[in-house]
Amino acid sequence: MPGASWVYELAEVRKAFDGVVALDGVSLAIERGEHVAFIGPSGAGKTTLFRILNLTLAPTSGTLRFDGADVAALTPGELRRARRRIGSIYQQHNLVGRLRVVHNVLAGNLGRWSLATALASLVRPRELETAARALAQVGIPDKLYARTDELSGGQQQRVAIARVLVQDPDVVLADEPVSSVDPALAAALVALLRDLARATGKTLLVNLHSVDLALTGFPRVVGIRQGRILFDLAPDKVTPELLELLYAGSAPEAQDVAALRPGAVAFGKACRPLPGFTR
Amino acid sequence: MARPAGPFPASPARPRVAPLLLAALAGTFALALWTAEVDPRRLVDPRALSHAGRFVAGAWPPRLDPEFLRFLARPVAETVQISVMGTVIAVIIGFPLGLLATASLAWRGILHERTLGRWVGFVPYALARALLSLFRSIPEYVWALVFVRAVGLGPFAGVLALGVAYGGMLGKVYSEILEAVDPRPLEALHAAGARRWGVALYGLLPEALPHLVSYTLYRWECAIRASAIMGFVGAGGLGQQVELAMRMFQFDEVLTLLGVLLVLVGAVDLVSGRIRARLAT
């Protein structure tokens, strides 16, 4: 069956908000089980693409197929079942701060639970072992009953990952999951996401602010600029010239790219010397 | 000749409406002064002063004998009970209507980006809004008059009046609180396949709960004052005693009653203030 192994197929997807174009004709196919990193300057449309891929936003035009089905043709019920199969991790602010960690993690079950179960679980948490196991997997087993807004940014991101583990989707989408934590922790969290996805055979799509993390951790890197795909390559094919083109005109990221050259100090030290970055 | 374009945009023309607006305001004020019969001289009119003097002379000392104080226990309890029951009924009316009247839950926003039938949610939304404004635009005292006709004199009429009028206010404010909740955690739940009730239970309500409870307690403070006054139209409680005492020229009893009311309102403010301060953390 042709196309049976594609999780996502996008053809000329456009998205405009009140006339402002965020995505300008994106065509892309993602295979089941693939790990893909998306990079590009702020405002390039990465987050819009992420919200289209997790079926929160509908494209203005173009077609989006999820698991072979045209998303525009799905009924509300089918759409909800499709969303259940996609786990999302956001940059920040995606947990309910006033709820205890256990409820935020168990909220991954909301796509399956009945109203009665969901209500009962708020009083006496259901499937406690599932929640505890997920928290242990992300390395914070002792935070089960902590109030979520009392955790650090990195710990909250781990809770968000644990919620996705409980949801147990086929696809994991992460939108700049580590741009609000320090570089060492960022590398650890991205590695955690990769390991968890590989262990369960999930497709993993990550928007990354850090070129370093994208090039060192992902077999496929997509560069997005001004709402279009600039390149879609294996990391060793991503040349410094391409990166400079990708970030041209956006000062902070251009600096990050410069810092990746061997010889430049900065925290790029930990990463491997990139091919092509010679003096 | 047009002026050469400078580096800054030209400042906008000074609006011409300000003097007109000012004149209209002054006119309104003068008219109000006349039609509301504001006349400070009538305050110091000898007749008015003698009336006031009679009241003060009759009121002091307040009636504090044990028999009267014992008798007061019942109206005081009645006032508290009217306020509590009235607030409970207001929540029962206001909470579901408030949910329906929340635009982000009913028909607008991220939960509805993709659903074709989002206008289906608009009809109950508009109805709930209309009902809430009807309930709260009629003052509780007018509702009390209506309910005294319907269910007879006594506390129940006061309870119903508070329930309906405050239900309207609670529902309106509940919906505003719910609409102000950060939508990002809600979007995350929705993206994971949660239905609308799931988003409400695990996102909207936990985030809004302290504000909802705090505003409800504040309404309860108001309800104590209102339930004391509603006795004037025959809906029981302390107000009814004040009205009776006034009509019998028992000004010493009136003073005691007002003192009791002051203590009661102060106590409720204190209790509810404490709870709200704790909720704010």
Domains of chain A, by residue range, sit at: 1-85+170-271, 94-168
pLDDT (tens digit per residue) in B56-100: 887 788 888 888 888 888 888 888 898 999 999 999 999 999 999
Quick one: how far is CA A163 from the chain centroid? 14
- Contacting residues for A102 by C-beta, under 8 A, at least 6 apart: A125, A128, A131, A144, A145
Nearest-CA distance B203 → chain A (Å) = 6
Chains A and B form CB pairs within 8 A to the count of 93
* Sheet of A228-233, strand order: A86-89, A171-175, A203-207, A35-39, A220-225, A228-233
B197 has a chain A CB within 8 A of its CB = yes
Min distance B204 CA to chain A CA atoms (Å): 9
Q: What is the pLDDT of residue B18?
A: 81
Does A83 sit within 8 Å of B193, measured CB to CB? yes
Domain ranges of chain B: 77-279
CB contact under 8 Å between B193 and A84, yes or no, is yes
What Cα–Cα distance (Å) separates residue B141 from each residue in B146, B150, B164, B216? 9, 14, 11, 20
What residues in A contact B182, CB-CB < 8 Å?
93
For residues B14 and B72, the model is more confident at B72
Q: Does B203 touch chain A (CB under 8 A)?
A: yes
Q: Do B188 and A88 touch (CB under 8 A)?
A: yes
Contact A104, A163 (CB under 8 A): yes
Please check whether residue A126 touches B, CB under 8 A: no
- Give the pLDDT confidence score for residue B117 in this predicted structure: 60
pLDDT tens, N- to C-terminus, chain A (279 residues): 445 689 999 999 999 988 899 999 999 999 999 999 999 998 899 999 999 999 988 899 999 999 999 998 888 888 899 999 999 999 887 899 999 999 999 999 999 999 999 999 999 999 999 999 999 988 899 999 999 999 988 899 999 999 999 999 999 999 988 887 888 888 888 999 999 999 999 999 999 988 989 999 999 999 999 999 999 999 999 988 899 899 887 766 666 666 666 555 444 444 444 444 443
CA B77/CA B80 separation, integer angstroms: 5
Model confidence at B47, in pLDDT bands (50, 70, 90)?
A: confident
Query: Smallest Cα–Cα separation from B110: which of B183, B197, B214?
Result: B183
Give the pLDDT confidence of B205-253 residue by residue, as tens digits.
Answer: 999 999 999 999 999 988 988 887 787 777 778 888 888 888 888 888 8
Return d(Cα B214, Cα B217) in angstroms, integer: 5
pLDDT tens track for B124-156? 899 999 999 999 999 988 998 899 888 888 888
Query: What is the predicted pLDDT for the residue at A47?
Result: 92
- In this prediction the ipTM stands at 0.86
DSSP string, B57-86: HHHSSP---HHHHHHHHHHHHHHHHHHHHH
CB contact under 8 A, B202 and A107: yes
The pair phi, psi for residue B82, each rounded to 5°, is -60, -45
Interface check for A147 against chain B (CB to CB < 8 A): the answer is: no
Q: How many residues does chain B have?
A: 281
Q: What angle do CA A267, A272, A273 make, to 5 degrees?
A: 95
Q: Is B179 on the interface with A (CB under 8 A)?
A: no
Range B77-279 classified under CATH 1.10.3720.10: yes
Q: Cβ contact (<8 Å) for B191 and A108? A: no
Q: Is B51 on the interface with A (CB under 8 A)?
A: no
Task: Give the angle B274-B231-B251 at the CA atoms, nearest 5°.
Answer: 95
Contact across the interface for B113 and A79, Cβ inside 8 Å: no
B86: Cβ–Cβ under 8 A, 6 or more apart, which residues?
B158, B159, B160, B161, B162, B163, B166, B223, B226, B227
Q: Is B192 on the interface with A (CB under 8 A)?
A: yes
- The answer to whether B182 faces chain A, any CB pair under 8 Å, is yes
Judge: B192–A103 Cβ closer than 8 Å, yes or no.
Answer: no
The CATH classification number of A1-85+170-271 equals 3.40.50.300
